[in-house]
Structure 1
Amino acid sequence: MVPCAEITIGKLTFTAATEINIRKSWKNFTDTATIKLPKAIYYYDENRNLKPVEHIGNFIKVGDKVEIKLGYNRQLFIEFIGYVARSPRIDIPYEILCEDEMWQLKRKEVSVSIQNATVKQIIQAVAPGYELDCIDEIYGDFSMKQTTAVKVFNELQEKAGIYTFFREGRLVCGKIYSDEKVLSKQPVFEYCENIIDHNLQYIYPDEAKIKVYAKSINKKGEAVTYEAGEDGGDIEHWTDRDGLSKEELKKRTDNRFKNLKTRGGYKGTITSFGWPRVEHGQVIQVVDKKYEERNTKNFVDEVEINMSANGGYRRISDIGRTYRDGEFKRIT
C-alpha cells in the first residue's frame, strides 16, 4: 500500500510533506499537529501558473485553517482539523505548529458565576455555540471572572477530575470512555502480525493503580463527593443515584475500588501501520497467541500519528484501562 496525504493550510494545498506528526488525547485539552515542509515549495496563482513560494510567512499566517488527510492508495481520511497556532518557523524544513479548535477557546476572555451549577451549565456558559457531549451532573457553586474557557476546563479537571477536549468537532466533557459516539468497532492488534513495535507491560491486578471519583446527591439536594484509589493510574467517574450520605458513599466507593483492582491488563504503547485507524476513547483488542490468558480489550488514551518519506505512515496507540464487555453502548 502506498501512503498518501492532502494538507490544506489557508488557500494552499499540499500532497506531500517532509514530516507530519499529530497527537490526540483526552489527557490534554488540545490536539496538536506539526507539519514540516521542504525548502522548495510551489503554488498555483490565480492564472494557474506554477510559482515558487519565496517567503512562507507571506502565504501561511497564524489563524489559517488547517486540514490534514492521510491514507493509503489515494483513499484519504481526515486525521486533523485546526488552525496555525504560531508563525511558521523559517528553519529548513519549514515547521508549522497547529492546534485544534481549543486554540480558539484559549484566546477569548469569559466570566462565569452560577449557583448550584451542573457541569453542563458551566461548559455552556464559557463555550457557547459548540455541539456538546457533556455529563449533566451537579457540580455546585462555580465562579471565575476574566478568565478563558480553557482555564475553566483546567479548574474542573483539578477539582473534580473532569476532562474536557474536542473530538471530531464536538466538545466532550466528562466522557473519557463513555462517549456513545465513538465507534464500537474494536481493531485487533496481534503480536508478530500488525504490531510493528511495542513497549507493552502486562500489569497484574495487585499492581494496577485506579482512582475513583464518586458523587451522590443527598436528601437535601446537596452534592456529596468522595475519592478512592491512587494517582497515576486509570480514572473512573461514578455517580450514585440513591441519595447517599458521606459515609454510605464512602463504603460503596471503597467496595467499587476493590472490585476494579481485581482486573489486570496492559500498559504501554503499540506502534502499528496507519490502518486500522484508531482514535482515543476507542476499544482495541490485544492478542497474544503464545499467552492467550493475556488477551485483553483496552481503551486507547492517546494516539500519535506520524508520516514521513523514510518512516511511512504509522500510528502509536497508548493503551488505557481494561474494557469490560457491554460496558457502554456505542455507534456501529
Structure 2
Amino acid sequence: MFTLKCKIIIGDYKLFAVTDVKIKRSIYSFVDTATITLPASARLQSDATNVPKSVSTAATFKEGDKVEIWLGYDNDLQREFKGFIKRVNAATPCEIECEGYSWQLRRKNILWATEKDKVTKLKDLLGTLIQGTDIKLSDSIPDMDVQQFSDGNRSGTEALDWIKKNLFLTVYFEEDQLYAGLAFIKQPDSAYAKYGIGVNLVKEDQLKFRNAEDVKILVKAISFNKLNKAVVGKAGDENGAIRTIYAQNDKTQKELDELAQSKIGELRYNGYEGKVTGFLAPFALPGYRVILQDKNYIERDGTYLIESTDVSYGTGGGRRTCGIGVKISKS
C-alpha cells in the first residue's frame, strides 16, 4: 500500500499537509510555476527558534520566500519544484503562487548589448545576465557565437525572450540551472520514465498514434551571418508543426533549404503524440525521455522526448501529465 506524502518548505517552515498543489514546467517556457493551496490558518513545523507553530498562513509568507515542493509515496519523495513565492492571495483558503528561478531575472535590469564588432559566446552572455543571482548555467549550453547587437535596458526575462526570438533557441530552467540551446539534449541514463499503455497510466485518451504520411511538419534550418542576422531555410508544410535545426554560421539560403529538406524524412515517423497521465511515480521532468510500450502493438513501442509536465497533488491523489514530443528512438 503506497501512502501519498508531501514536504513543502517555505522559508523557515515545513508543511506536511496541504489542500492542493499544482506545478507546471515545460522546455518551451523558462517560467516554472506552482500553486500551493493552504487553510487560512495552519500548524507548521520549523527548526528556527522563536517561530510560532500555529500561524495565519497569509500573514506568515511573503513574496521572495524560497520554496521547495517534494512529493511522492511513503518515504520516497522527489523534489518537483524549487523557486520563490511570487504572490500570496489572502483568501480562504490561502493560495500561494510561486515562480521558479526566472523570478530573480524578472527583477533584474541589464544593458542588453555587446561591444561593437566583437563576437561574444552565448555562455558568456548568459553569465553576464545571471550575475548577482543564485542561478547557475547548464553545462550543456552549446559553444555558440553571438555577434554584435545593442538592444538597450531590459529585464532578465525580457533578455531571455530576446534569445528565444532572435537566436531561435530553446530556453528553460532545470530548477536553478539555466539552459539555452537545442530542445533535446542528452540526459543521464537514469533520466527516463517508462509507461505501459493500459498498465500504469491513469489516462491515455489524449495520446494518439500517427502515421508518417499524415504528419504535417515544417522544418526551419537556421544559420547566422557575420552581422548576427538569422538566415532561415524552410521545407515541408507551412501550417505544420515547426521543428528547428541549426547549421554552421554563414550558410547560404540554398544550402539551408536543402538541409531542411533532408531532415523531413527523419522527422516524419510512425509514432505517438499528445499527452499521458500517470501517478507521481515514475518521476519525470521536461527534457527526460519517456518509453511508451503497448503489449497489444509491440511495433508501436518507442522513446520520446518529454516536452512538459503538469503535476497535481491533493485529496484526489497525485498525478503527472507528460506532454509527448519528438520520437528519439524505436525502443
Give the shorter-chain TM-score range: 0.7 to 0.9
Structure 1 residues 118 and 124, CA gap change in structure 2 (3 angstroms): same
Structure 2 residues without counterparts, runs of 5 or longer: none
In the TM superposition, what is the alpha-carbon distance from 1:77 to its structure 2 partner?
1.6
Residue 173 in 1 paired to residue 185 in 2? no
The CA distance in 2 between the partners of 1:23 and 1:196, in whole Å, is 18
Paired AA for residue 200 in structure 2: N
Return the offset for 1:234.
5.1
Summarize the Cα distance change of 1:38–1:246 in structure 2 as closer, same or farther, 3 Å threshold: same
In the other structure, the counterpart of 1:237 is 245
User: Given the superposition, is the C-alpha separation of residues 138 and 50 from structure 1 closer, same or farther in structure 2, using an over 3 Å criterion?
Assistant: closer
**1:293-312 map, 5 Å:** 293-309=299-315, 311-312=316-317
Match for residue 20 of structure 1? 21
Q: 1:174 to 1:302 in 2, by over 3 A?
A: same
Q: 2: distance between equivalents of 1:233 and 1:120?
A: 29
Aligned residue runs from structure 1 range 121-200, under 5 A: 121-128=124-131, 130-133=135-138, 134-178=141-185, 180-198=186-204, 199-200=206-207
Map of 1:63 onto structure 2? 64
- In structure 2, the CA distance between the partners of 1:65 and 1:272, relative to structure 1 (3 Å rule), is same
What letter matches 2:203 in structure 1? D
Q: Which amino acid aligns with 2:57?
A: I
1:102 match: 102
Letter in 1 for 2:231: T
**Could you tell me the TM-score, scaled by structure 1's length?**
0.86
Q: Is the 8 A contact 2:220 2:233 kept in 1?
A: yes
Q: What is the Cα deviation at residue 74 of structure 1?
A: 1.9
Distance (Å, rounded) in 2 between the aligned partners of 1:50 and 1:221 = 60
Deviation at 1:83, TM superposition (A): 0.4
Shift of 1:232: 6.0
**How far apart, CA to CA, are the structure 1 residues paired with 2:100 and 2:144?**
27
Residues in 1 aligned to 2:239 and 2:92: alpha-carbon distance in whole angstroms: 42
Moved more, 33-42 or 182-191: 182-191
Asked if 2 retains the 8 angstrom alpha-carbon contact of 1:117 and 1:142, the reply is: no
Residues 148 and 228, structure 2, Cα contact 8 Å, conserved in 1:
no
1:323 aligns with 2:324: no
Is 1:8 aligned to 2:46, yes or no?
no
Letter in 2 for 1:165: Y
Q: 1:170 Cα shift?
A: 1.1
Number of the residue aligned with 2:284: 278
Aligned with 1:120: secondary structure?
Answer: helix
1:149-202: per-residue Cα shift (whole Å, max 9, x none)?
211111221233212111032110013211x34555432211221011021111
Letter in 2 for 1:61: K
Percent of aligned pairs with the same amino acid: 26
List 4+ stretches of structure 1 deviating above 4 A: 44-51, 181-185, 220-224, 229-232
- The one-letter code sitting in structure 1 at the alignment partner of 2:323 is D
Which whole-Å CA distance do the structure 2 matches of 1:132 and 1:41 have between them?
37
State the alpha-carbon separation in 2 of the partners of residues 44 and 265 from structure 1: 48
2:145 maps to amino acid? I
Partner Cα separation in structure 2 for residue 231 and residue 153 of structure 1: 26
Q: Which runs of structure 2 are paired with 1:56-95 in the superposition (5 Å)?
A: 56-86=57-87, 88-95=88-95
Amino acid at match of 1:125: T
Say which SS state the counterpart of residue 5 (structure 1) adopts.
Answer: strand
Change (3 A) 1:44 1:68: closer
Change over 3 Å in CA distance of 1:49–1:248 after alignment to 2: closer
Q: Alpha-carbon deviations, 1:240-285, whole Å to 9, x = none?
A: 48x64332232222222x2234313211111101101011111111
Between the aligned partners of 1:240 and 1:172, the Cα distance in structure 2 is 20
In structure 2, give the amino acid aligned to 1:8.
I
Q: Distance in 1 between matches of 2:161 and 2:61?
A: 31
> By how many angstroms is 1:112 displaced?
2.2
**TM-score, structure 2 length as denominator?**
0.86
